[in-house]
Amino acid sequence: MRAVHRSTPGLILGFVVAGIALATGFGTPVRAQTAAPPDAYLYIIYPYDGLKIRGAFTVRFGLRNMGVTHAGHVVPNSGHHHLLVDVDEAIEPDEPIPTDRQHIHFGAGQTETRLDLPPGKHTLQLVLGDAEHKPFKPLLTSKKITVTVLPPRRPAQASR
């Protein structure tokens, strides 16, 4: 009986293929979306839809039938807020919510923020994310509202 020996190049190739598979996530199970209670409701408390406002303003987040927790914490029926400013694209349900100036994360469990937007019309919408910043299933989003930021008041002219 002869012993079967693998050649060194074949063994190296096997390690390379395994390394590529691990680095690309091939073979790693994809985590399913976190389920949200059917009666969960996400909304913007303030500002109101259609409000005209001057200068910086506070945005207050509302959530019913779920809790708010920190990003990274896996707590049943809880998540954290993400505020979308002037975002027209749909949220990808299987991908983490992006992080940029239009997708603002509140991973410390915040329930309000102060925005200072340039004059003009702006849209605001909340999305609730799970511990990994992924949207819940079903997708929990607030109604998209529009606010108009007015230009700053001009200082009154001093009379002579």
Q: What is the mean pLDDT of residues 138-144?
A: 96
CATH number at residue 108: 2.60.40.10
On whether residue 158 sits in a domain, the answer given is: no
* Residue 80 contacts residue 105 (beta carbons within 8 Å): yes
| Structural domain of 50 | 41-150
* Alpha-carbon torsion angle 41, 46, 48, 54, nearest 10: -150
pTM of the entire predicted model: 0.77
On whether residue 4 sits in a domain, the answer given is: no
Q: Nearest 5 degrees, angle CA 140-CA 142-CA 147?
A: 155
- Dump pLDDT digits (tens) for 41-90: 999 999 999 999 999 999 999 999 999 999 999 999 999 999 999 999 99
On whether residue 103 sits in a domain, the answer given is: yes
**DSSP characters over 85-148:** ES--SPPPTTSPPP-BTTEEEETT---EEEE-PPSEEEEEEEEEE-TTSPBPBS--BPPPEEEE
Predicted pLDDT at 160: 58
- Dump pLDDT digits (tens) for 11-33: 344 433 344 434 444 444 445 77
The overall average pLDDT reported for the chain is: 84
Predicted pLDDT at 156: 74
On whether residue 71 sits in a domain, the answer given is: yes
23 φψ region: left (φ > 0), alpha (ψ -120 to 50), beta (else): alpha
Count of domains in the chain? 1
On whether residue 11 sits in a domain, the answer given is: no
